[in-house]
Amino acid sequence: MVPRTAVKTARWWPVAAIGAGVIALCYGFARYAYGLFVPRFSETFGLSTVAVGVLGGLSTAGYGLGLLVSPRTSARSPRGTVLLAGAAATTGLALMALAPDVAVFGAGIVVAGGSAGLVSPGVAQLIGETVGVRVRARAQTWANTGTGLGLAASAFTPLLTFGWPAIWATFAVLGVAMTLLAWRTLPRTEPAEAATGSARGVAPLVVNSVLIGVTSAPYWTFSSSRLTEAGLSSVAATWCWFTIGVAGLLGGLAGRAAERIGLRAVNFATWTLAAAGIALLALPHPGLPVVLASSALFGVTYMALTGLCILWAGRVFPTRPARGVTWSFAGLGVGQTVASPLAGAAASAIGLPAVFGLTGLVALIAWSQLHPRLAPRDR
């Protein structure tokens, strides 16, 4: 094992870059790409709308299982947890590509979803143990932008003429390569110290994360439908998805900003921009420039907010950031799970423009963080 004092001097960018690559695999390919291919999956397996929803729920279930396991595995070996996440993503993608029936396909979705639950706590813990304090915020937020990288890389794959099994098999091959690269390059660490931090510090973090889930779920689920309703083509929707991913890469700048002006101020400003980006889809006739601007704002603020949650978690649990990240991302998942059906019901009653307008207003609840007890710690 490499002593803790030695690995603290490791350069931050190689760890952050490899972490971002595994996160791109687990989120961009193994978790989020499912939604892009629902029409093709439905055609192959004869899925009803209910069945599509059940399969999506299996992904969330796998994600939850991964989050439950990750604190313990990250405490023993954050490097091993990241490798396990890469292996789970690769296995899940391969099972989906080779599935002879919907049962095997569903099993692949569960395994692939589990990889996303494992990877973020593992990467956060690894950076916390191997990167010096002075540059740790940068490393955490840049690694978190791997989700945007994965979204950008998968955005145009539905337009390819190959069958979806070939595309999924390619994702699995990329997963093998990424996992092997992580195995060769990520540093080893000793088991982490016991977790520290108060419940009072966790509660505001979880509330903030639930709010991210509640406000992002309508966008992830219904933004494409809103574009179709506004008269835009499927190609335009693909460009918007790509914009979300590319703009999300800029979310890595949030770490440096938090170092300079404080986590609380950056979090507050990011929430304000997020509300504006969501509300743009409430305009009566949003054209392509408007929806691209909305996609860019959503991408950069979503990645920035989740990255800031990782920094916040590290301040609540300095020696075990994986535990705080697990709390945070569990809250995010709960928010998304609850908000998606509520947004669907609201859309049928008042229409999608009103849903996006109300969601933008809900995002402004984050202004309550002006109160010190609800705000992230700046020290």
pLDDT digits (tens, 9 = 90+) for 216-265: 989 988 888 899 889 998 888 889 999 999 999 999 999 999 989 999 99
Q: For 16-66, what is each residue's pLDDT tens digit?
A: 999 999 999 999 999 988 878 888 888 899 988 778 878 888 888 899 999
Q: Average pLDDT for residues 146-159, to the nearest whole number?
A: 91
C-alpha 203: how far from chain center: 20
pLDDT of residue 193: 58
- With a cut of 70, say whether residue 291 has pLDDT above it: yes
Q: Which of 12, 310, 357 shows the shortest CA–CA distance to 147?
A: 310
Are 278 and 294 in contact by the 8 Å Cβ rule? The answer is: yes
Note the maximum CA span of the chain: 60
Residue identified by tokens 């406000």 is 215
Q: How far apart are CA 82 and CA 146, in angstroms?
A: 13
Q: Average pLDDT for residues 117-126, to the nearest whole number?
A: 95
- With a cut of 60, say whether residue 199 has pLDDT above it: no
- pLDDT above 70 as % of the chain: 94
Q: For 83-106, what is each residue's pLDDT tens digit?
A: 999 999 999 999 999 999 999 999
Q: Which two tokens stand for residue 209?
A: 């994360």
pLDDT of residue 194: 54
C-alpha 361: how far from chain center: 22
Q: Which two tokens stand for residue 151?
A: 């979204």
pLDDT of residue 237: 85
pLDDT of residue 37: 87
Q: Average pLDDT for residues 193-202, to the nearest whole number?
A: 60
pLDDT of residue 329: 93
Q: How far apart are CA 213 and CA 363, in angstroms?
A: 10
Q: Which two tokens stand for residue 181?
A: 């690269």
Residue identified by tokens 């933008």 is 360
Q: What is the mean pLDDT of the chain?
A: 90
pLDDT of residue 5: 40
Q: How far apart are CA 290 and CA 287, in angstroms?
A: 5
Q: Give buried/exposed letters for 39-53 (b at 16+ CB in 10 A, else e).
A: eebeeebebeeeebe
Q: Which two tokens stand for residue 287?
A: 């054209």
- With a cut of 80, say whether residue 2 has pLDDT above it: no
- pLDDT above 90 as % of the chain: 65
C-alpha 154: how far from chain center: 14
Q: How far apart are CA 171 and CA 174, in angstroms?
A: 5
When mean pLDDT is compared across 29-38, 121-130, 284-293, 298-307, the lowest value belongs to: 29-38
| Residue 379: band (very low, low, confident or very high) from pLDDT cuts 50, 70, 90 | low
| Residue 197: band (very low, low, confident or very high) from pLDDT cuts 50, 70, 90 | very low
pLDDT of residue 200: 59
Q: What three-state secondary structure class fits 131?
A: strand
pLDDT of residue 10: 58
Going by the DSSP 8-state scheme, the letter that residue 195 receives in this structure is P
pLDDT of residue 280: 97
Q: Kindly give, in sequence order, each residue whose CB lies less than 8 Å from that of residue 194, ignoring residues fewer than 6 positions away.
A: 319, 320
At 326, which helix (H) or strand (E)?
A: helix 321-350
Residue 200 vs residue 9, higher pLDDT: 200
Q: What three-state secondary structure class fits 226?
A: helix
Are 16 and 255 in contact by the 8 Å Cβ rule? The answer is: no
Q: Taking CA 176 as the corner, what is the angle to CA 107 and CA 167, rounded to the nearest 5 degrees? A: 65
When mean pLDDT is compared across 198-212, 325-339, 357-371, the lowest value belongs to: 198-212
- With a cut of 80, say whether residue 137 has pLDDT above it: yes
When mean pLDDT is compared across 50-54, 94-98, 109-113, 120-124, the lowest value belongs to: 50-54
Q: In Å, how far are 25, 84, 190, 239 from 336, measured between CA atoms? A: 21, 25, 35, 24
- From first CA to last CA, the distance across the chain in angstroms is 31
Q: Which of 205, 207, 212 shows the shortest CA–CA distance to 359?
A: 212
Q: Average pLDDT for residues 266-280, to the nearest whole number?
A: 97
- With a cut of 60, say whether residue 290 has pLDDT above it: yes
Residue 61 vs residue 201, higher pLDDT: 61
